[in-house]
């Protein structure tokens, strides 16, 4: 499997939104200016009923990306092949452009904590997660896309930076990266590293999607809540990301305090404008950054 | 993998049992105490599961009020660490929990309300199916009718309520004053089903409940008519049985 230098240019999805229940009727009755939708896979891993029928109708009109929260790729618990089977069944139904989940674990010993829990950046974890990504990619018959999470603690046992860990993971497995720009910002603030340094260290050519979202600033730490508009600092970081990685598919995530669709489309239009400004400015600058 | 496995076990224990042994694995953070930062995960764990229960059981929440709902949710979360890959299933054992709990079991309407709300969720998400149609029945010859067997749609649940929870639920849903909870002299049969895209329920009269319960075990229509006759009298028994059947077909609760 080969990865093109700028997958975003190969498969330009443009600017998308997370598909959320309150917007179903606006999407089906209008033609909102959204290029594609991302679904939370687990919300549709159900036997049938109205949500799946609505998804079928939306998938007829828009490209779909599947984004999961339960793969628990970093867990030391056994791989859940029932989960993977249901994920594959859903993928056969909606024909997603790609399937993503997070670089995290969600529980061990038969318990699910339903959170995206942090990983120590060790060689042991790298070996373990690489092996599991390989298993998933073989099972699904397609590359997996991995997202960086927001974290609130780190571990003394870490032997490398998060960006070195991600780069090595993609080298070993050929998986793709979903770069959550807000998560980079949140983790950088919480752990005291430079968010720009993170972006500049990630190898270009691996990143096929960006996430943008809002967060909650508690003064001494930031929590990734997806219940606010995107903050100015994250817009700045997004411009930096576009300059480095090019026209990568961009998605705004809103999971709580969900505003009317039109309000999210205004944010999406801002993402279009920010990306457009970066991409029209320069290819030399982008290529220079990409070459770093 | 020993180090990773033991670290994950310690981390999990912090969330499930408030055991902070994991703090020795976590370095100091530049802006905030590490126990506060670990607390972000602890708080999120409880809040997320609480949110699932409040979303799945809106009228149980309305019945209990915020404070008692939170107290009940905390007890349930402590008693039932999630074993589900999706949080959407986390609340499935709530009716059983309420029936077994020392205090909540004394308020039997709570488990009945939870049963009803869980069934409404279940039927909403159940598999799609081909419903039995009037045209399908009309094509039967007179000789075929007694041999007819019926299959319930997957999106149907049949409950027995020992309390007036259905009445309470309706009042809460309509935001009117709910009646006082009371035990019924005889359990009320309730059918929960999906009609088109809406989950709904209705009480079943005794005779209809008896016919339904027999029908879904594969009893032939001829025998169902006999059961109806023995229950409510032979006069017009076949007409009554046909009436129930017609209603079920119109409601889309039988599969072809």
Q: What local confidence, expressed as pLDDT, does residue A287 receive?
A: 52
Residues 246 through 265 of chain A touching chain B, CB cutoff 8 Å = none
Q: Kindly report the CA angle at B252 between B199 and B241, in degrees rounded to 5?
A: 120
Give the per-residue pLDDT at A284: 53
CB A79 within 8 A of CB A73: no
Contact A140, A180 (CB under 8 A): no
Alpha-carbon gap, residue A221 to A219, rounded angstroms: 6
What's residue A41's pLDDT? Answer: 97
Q: Are residues B101 and B134 in the same domain?
A: no
Residues B149 and B255 both lie in one domain: yes
B152 and B55, same domain (yes or no): no
CA–CA gap between residue A14 and residue A193 (Å, rounded):
30
B51 part of a folded domain: yes
Are residue B94 and residue B36 in the same domain, yes or no? yes
Residues B256 and B133 reside in one and the same domain: yes
User: Cα distance from B196 to chain A (closest Cα, Å)?
Assistant: 9
CATH number at residue B137: 3.90.930.50
Residues 100-159 of A with CB under 8 A from B: 105, 107-115, 117, 120, 122, 124-125, 128, 152-157
Neighbours of A220 (CB within 10 A): 14
pLDDT of residue B88: 86
- Regarding whether B226 and B151 lie in a shared domain, the answer is yes
In a domain, residue B146? The reply is: yes
Q: Where are the beta strands (DSSP E) in chain B?
A: 151-152, 156-163, 183-195, 198-204, 254-255
Q: Please report the beta strands in A58-175, taking only residues with DSSP state E, as ranges in sequence order.
A: 64-67, 99-102, 144-147
Q: Is residue B118 part of a domain?
A: no
A14: alpha, beta or left, given left = phi > 0 and alpha = psi -120 to 50?
left
A104 → chain B, closest CA residue? B8
pLDDT at A47: 85
For residues B135 and B101, state if they share a domain. Answer: no
Q: Give the C-alpha separation, A56 to B18, whole Å.
A: 43
- B82, A128: Cβ pair inside 8 Å? no
For residue B113, tell me if it sits in a domain: no
Q: What confidence score (pLDDT) does residue A244 get?
A: 97
CA distance A228 to A180: 15
pLDDT < 70 positions in chain B: 1
| Residue B124 covered by a domain | no
Domain shared by B84 and B27, yes or no: yes
Is the CB of A153 less than 8 angstroms away from the CB of B29? Answer: yes
Does B119 map to a domain? no
- For A241, B5, B148, B158, the CA distances from B191, given in Å and listed in that order, are 55, 47, 22, 5
Contact A74, A103 (CB under 8 A): yes
Q: What is the ipTM of this complex?
A: 0.92
Across the A:B interface, residue pairs with CB atoms under 8 Å apart total: 136
Do B127 and A48 lie within an 8 Å CB cutoff? yes
Residue A143 has, within 13 A of its CA and on its CB side, a CA count of 19
| Closest by Cβ to B4, choosing from A113, A124, A220 | A124
The topology (CATH level 3) of A7-291 is: TIM Barrel (3.20.20)
Core vs surface per residue A231-244: b (16+ CB within 10 A) or e: bebbbebbbbbbbb
- The A residues from 187 to 246 touching B (CB cutoff 8 Å) are 189-192, 220-221, 223
Q: How far apart are CA A184 and CA A252, in angstroms?
A: 15
Pair B198, B251 in one domain = yes
Query: Which spans in A21-70 are helix H?
Result: 24-29, 50-61
- Tell me the residues of chain B between 98 and 157 that have a Cβ less than 8 Å away from chain A: 124-129, 154-155
Same domain, B52 and B170: no
Based on the structure, what is the number of domains in chain B? 2
Cα(A64)–Cα(A40) distance, integer angstroms? 11
Residue A105 to residue A70: CA distance in whole angstroms = 8
Model pLDDT for residues A58-71, shown as the tens digit of each residue: 999 999 999 999 99
**Which residues in chain A come in under a pLDDT of 70?**
1-11, 282-292
DSSP assigned state of A153: -
d(CA A126, CA A166): 9
| B139 φψ region: left (φ > 0), alpha (ψ -120 to 50), beta (else) | alpha
B50 contacts in chain A (CB < 8 Å) = none
Contacts of A125 in chain B (CB under 8 A): 4
**Residue A71 and residue B201: Cα distance in Å, rounded?**
35
Residues of B numbered 49-108 whose beta carbons fall under 8 angstroms of chain A's beta carbons: which are they? 49, 81-88, 90
CA distance A125 to A115: 18
* Strand, coil or helix: B234: coil
Q: Does any CB of chain A come closer than 8 Å to the CB of residue B183?
A: no
> Exposed, middle or buried by CB within 10 Å (0-12, 13-18, 19+), for B16?
middle
Contact A45 B45 (CB under 8 A): no
**A259/A263 Cα distance (integer angstroms):** 6
* C-alpha of B214 from chain center: 22
| Whether the Cβ atoms of residue A106 and residue A70 lie closer than 8 Å to each other | yes
- Closest among B94, B217, B201 to B156, alpha carbons compared: B201
> Is B163 in the same domain as B102?
no
Contact criterion met (CB < 8 Å) for B25 and A157: yes
CA dist., res. B81 & res. A137, Å (int): 30
In what order do the strands lie in the sheet containing B198-204?
B156-163, B183-195, B198-204
What is the residue extent of each domain of chain A?
A: 7-291
At A265 the pLDDT is: 96
Nearest to B125 among A47, A75, A117 (CB): A47
The parent domain of residue B140 ranges over 129-256
Give the model confidence (pLDDT) of A226-243 as tens digits.
989 999 999 999 999 999
pLDDT value of position B231 = 87
For A110-144, how does the pLDDT look when each residue is reduced to its tens digit (9 = 90+)?
999 999 999 999 999 999 999 999 999 999 999 99
pTM: 0.88
Is residue B238 located within the same domain as residue B177? Answer: yes
């Amino acid at each position: 499997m080969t990865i093109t230098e700028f997958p975003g240019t190969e498969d330009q999805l443009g600017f998308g939104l997370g598909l959320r229940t309150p917007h179903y009727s606006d999407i089906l009755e209008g033609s909102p200016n959204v290029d594609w939708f991302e679904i939370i896979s687990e919300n549709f891993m159900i036997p049938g009923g109205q949500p799946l029928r609505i998804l079928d109708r939306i998938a007829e009109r828009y490209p779909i990306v599947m984004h999961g929260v339960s793969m628990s790729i970093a867990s030391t618990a056994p791989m859940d092949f029932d989960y993977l089977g249901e994920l594959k069944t859903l993928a056969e139904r909606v024909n997603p452009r790609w399937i993503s989940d997070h670089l995290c674990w969600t529980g061990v010993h038969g318990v699910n904590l339903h959170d995206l829990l942090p990983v120590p950046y060790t060689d042991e974890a790298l070996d373990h997660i690489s092996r599991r990504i390989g298993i998933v990619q073989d099972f699904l018959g397609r590359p997996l896309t991995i997202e960086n999470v927001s974290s609130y603690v780190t571990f003394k046992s870490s032997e490398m930076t998060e960006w070195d860990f991600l780069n090595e993971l993609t080298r070993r497995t050929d998986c793709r990266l979903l770069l959550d720009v807000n998560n980079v910002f949140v983790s950088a603030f919480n752990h005291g590293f430079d968010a720009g340094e993170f972006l500049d260290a990630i190898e270009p050519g691996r990143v096929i999607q960006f996430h943008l979202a809002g967060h909650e600033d508690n003064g001494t730490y930031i929590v990734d809540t997806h219940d606010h508009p995107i903050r100015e600092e994250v817009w700045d970081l997004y411009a930096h990301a576009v300059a480095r990685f090019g026209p990568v598919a961009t998605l705004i995530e809103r999971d709580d305090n969900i505003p009317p669709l039109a309000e999210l489309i205004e944010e999406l239009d801002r993402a279009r404008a920010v990306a457009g400004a970066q991409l029209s400015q320069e290819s030399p600058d982008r290529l220079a950054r990409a070459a770093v | 993998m020993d180090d990773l496995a033991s670290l994950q076990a310690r981390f999990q224990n912090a969330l499930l049992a408030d055991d902070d042994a994991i703090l020795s694995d976590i370095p100091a953070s530049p802006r905030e105490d590490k126990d506060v930062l670990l607390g972000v995960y602890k708080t999120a764990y409880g809040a997320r599961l609480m949110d699932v229960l409040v979303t799945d059981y809106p009228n149980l929440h309305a019945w209990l009020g915020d404070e008692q709902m939170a107290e009940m949710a905390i007890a349930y979360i402590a008693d039932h660490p999630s074993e589900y890959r999706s949080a959407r299933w986390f609340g499935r054992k709530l009716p059983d929990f309420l029936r077994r709990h020392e205090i909540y079991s004394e308020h039997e309407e709570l488990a009945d309300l939870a049963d009803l709300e869980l069934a409404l969720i279940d039927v909403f998400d159940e598999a799609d199916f081909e419903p039995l149609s009037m045209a399908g029945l009309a094509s039967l010859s007179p000789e075929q009718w007694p041999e007819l067997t019926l299959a319930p749609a997957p999106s149907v649940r049949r409950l027995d309520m020992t309390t007036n929870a259905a009445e309470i639920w309706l009042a809460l849903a309509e935001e009117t004053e709910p009646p006082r909870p009371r035990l019924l002299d005889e359990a009320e049969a309730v059918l929960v089903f999906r009609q088109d895209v809406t989950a709904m329920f209705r009480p079943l009269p005794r005779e209809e409940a008896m016919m339904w319960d027999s029908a879904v075990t594969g009893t032939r229509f001829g025998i169902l008519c006999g059961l109806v006759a023995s229950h409510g009298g032979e006069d017009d028994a076949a007409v009554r049985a046909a009436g129930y059947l017609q209603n079920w077909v119109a409601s889309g609760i039988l599969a072809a």
